[in-house]
Amino acid sequence: MKAATVRYILDTIGELFPDAHCELNHSNAFELTIAVLLSAQCTDETVNKVTKDLFQKYKSPEDYVAVPVEELEQDIRRIGLFRNKAKHIRNLCMLLMEQYGGEVPREHDELVKLPGVGRKTANVVVSNAFDVPAIAVDTHVERVSKRLGLANWKDSVLEVEKKLMKQVPREEWTLTHHRLIFFGRYHCKAQNPKCQVCPLLDVCREGKKRMKTSQIRKDK
């Protein structure tokens, strides 16, 4: 894709969602790590409801380890896969205490060694908690990038991340990550994207295809 088209896409999405930000409530790197871990296959809204009380009760890795895992399970039971996640949180906290002095490491390479923390989570943590530019590719970022042609349909999540990193200026990685999420969450939704009113329709291969298909349906 031409650099000018990429610029146009980034600027247009920026105009639609100038204030895009991390929607997971947190006040430090540790809370963010827990929140992102809880957010797998779960909405940010639900995670925020749970963490409102959770972060009052548990403030440090020691706090999570001090209770039986069954108690932690109960505290996060409104979240999908809560048993697995409780186990991951406990293991994560024990490792943080044993190897990192109870602190969340700042390095991406170290973060991905933590239980339940994958590449995406590590990217969210380094970019939001430590101001290191990164593009975490979640389901919205992946879908929007592929629809717009910033990545290919067959690309893996890692390939999408690499392509975005190549096309987007480094200083815009983190903001672009947030904006693509907002764009995917509120405009270019998985079901019924708003193609008819989309300012990117002219440059969007998926949008053009969808509009053509709906026109053919109307003509029949």
**Closest distance of CB 157 from ligand SF4, Å:** 19
Measured between alpha carbons, how far is 36 from 44 in angstroms, rounded to an integer? 9
The answer to whether the CB of 119 falls within 8 A of the CB of 35 is no
Q: 120, 155, 194, 209: which is the annotated catalytic residue?
A: 120
Give the x-and-dash track for 122-161 against ligand SF4 (CB under 6 A).
-------------------------xx-------------
CB of 163 to ligand SF4, least distance (A): 16
| 138 tagged catalytic | yes
Q: Site residues for ligand SF4, window 154-213 (CB under 6 A)?
A: 187-188, 193-195, 198, 200-201, 204, 206-207
Q: Which two tokens stand for residue 112?
A: 């991905």
120 catalytic per annotation:
yes
**Contacts of residue 107, Cβ cutoff 8 Å, sequence gap at least 6:** 126
Catalytic residue among 85, 138, 146, 163: 138
Which residue in 218, 215, 172, 179 sits closest to 200, CA to CA? 179
Q: Give whichever of 96 and 148 is closer to ligand SF4, judged by the CB atom.
A: 148
CB of 62 to ligand SF4, least distance (A): 46
Using the 8-state DSSP alphabet, how is residue 137 labeled? -
Cβ 177 vs Cβ 136: under 8 Å: yes
Q: Kindly state the smallest distance separating residue 148's Cβ from ligand SF4, in Å.
A: 5
**198 contacts: CB under 8 Å, gap ≥ 6:** 187, 188, 204, 207
Instruction: Give the residue with the Cβ less far from ligand SF4, 38 or 150.
Output: 150
Our CB check for ligand SF4 shows the closer of 2 and 171 to be 2
Q: End-to-end CA distance of the chain, in Å?
A: 35
Residues 6+ apart with CB under 8 A from 75: 50, 53, 54, 57, 58
Site of interaction with ligand SF4 (CB under 6 A): 147-148, 187-188, 193-195, 198, 200-201, 204, 206-207
